[in-house]
A and B are shown apart, each in its own frame.
Chain A
Amino acid sequence: QKEVEQDPGPLSVPEGAIVSLNCTYSNSAFQYFMWYRQYSRKGPELLMYTYSSGNKEDGRFTAQVDKSSKYISLFIRDSQPSDSATYLCAMGNNAGNMLTFGGGTRLMVKP
């Protein structure tokens, strides 16, 4: 079993929908959590960074971390076709900067 599990999708939603992306993890040593967006054949682009349990909002994006349940989420409000990409959760501990990624969820937002 992988340390970080993420539903691969694809997830197809209509434009304007609220999108919920999720990851679960097993390693309680993970202390910080990130969401990356990756367009096809491009490098991962950092979207959200969180260090503690709770919610963090940035524009249309909200990251949620529940350390007690080992569960993180990314919500996208008013989704746009330009949000169509693969979303990767990533997490790490204080020992270094080696991130452990989820497998990525492919999102398609249809006009």
Chain B
Amino acid sequence: AAGVIQSPRHLIKEKRETATLKCYPIPRHDTVYWYQQGPGQDPQFLISFYEKMQSDKGSIPDRFSAQQFSDYHSELNMSSLELGDSALYFCAIRGRRTGELFFGEGSRLTVL
């Protein structure tokens, strides 16, 4: 069955530091989506990639960047971290039906 592996599962950083989150679709998948879920909030779309090119952009701060690599894994880079960046970050892959998304277990980022 298809799935998504995310790493690290937990990450603690201090303000103004940089963090990188990784997403590995299993098997390789041409499209990945990144979502951010703050405490008690619903997931918010950040950015997506199709065939290693950015396809859509949501509410992603300028301090964040992402890319999809030749092996189809994706990384979300976050710089100048702020306390408000503390959240669960999910990577998702597309299912066969329109709009269907399957999420990974998420990476929990805590900014102190």
- Measuring CB to CB, which residues of chain A are less than 8 angstroms from any residue of chain B? 31-32, 34, 36, 41-46, 49, 51, 88, 90-92, 94, 96-99, 101-104
Contacts and interface: CB of A to CB of B under 8 A. Distances in A.
Interface string B35-69: 00000011111001000000110100000000000
Query: Interface SS of chain A: helix, strand, loop or mixed?
Result: loop
- The winner among A43, A51, A99 for most chain B CB atoms within 10 A is A43
B97 A49 contact: yes
A34 B99 contact: yes
A44 B101 CA distance: 10
B74 interface: no
Interface of B: 4, 31, 33, 41-45, 48, 55-56, 58, 88, 90, 94-95, 97-106, 108
Nearest to B91: A43
Contacts of A88: 42-43
Contacts of A34: 99-100
A36 B102 CA distance: 10
B99 A41 contact: no
Contacts of B95: 46
Contact of B103 (A44, A91, A98, A103): A44
A43 B106 contact: yes
